[in-house]
Amino acid sequence: MAYAVPHVALDRISKLTAYLQTWGDGLTPFDVSASELIAASEIALRSSESKLRSRAEMMTDLSWRNTQRVLNAVER
C-alpha cells in the first residue's frame, strides 16, 4: 500500500484482514481464496491510481507523525 501498487490479500490471515479493514479504503480485495485470486486481481487492477497514491501518501504522513510523536516522547 505504501507504494500505491494494486494488491490482493489472501484469506485466513486474520491480522492482515483487520489491517485492511482499517486502512484499505475499499481498494484492496481481502479474504480472497486461491480459487478467487484471478477475479480479485482484476478488481485490484481497476483501482484508481490516484486513489492508490492518495492512500499511500496518507499512510506515509500518518507514519511520519507517529515517528515524530515517539521521538518527542523519548526526548522528554
- pLDDT tens profile 16-45: 989 999 998 889 898 999 899 999 999 999
Structural domain contains residue 62: yes
Structural domain contains residue 6: no
Summarised one tens digit per residue, pLDDT across range 57-74 is 999 999 999 999 999 999
Spatial separation of the C-alpha atoms in residues 21 and 41, rounded to whole Å = 18
Q: What is the pLDDT of residue 76?
A: 80
Structural domain contains residue 3: no
Q: What is the pLDDT of residue 12?
A: 84
pTM of the model: 0.70
| Long-range contacts formed by 38-42: CB under 8 A, 24+ apart | 40/8, 41/8
Which structural domain, as residue segments, surrounds residue 60?
A: 14-75
Q: What is the pLDDT of residue 40?
A: 95
> 57 by DSSP, 3-state: which?
helix
For residue 2, pLDDT beyond 90: no
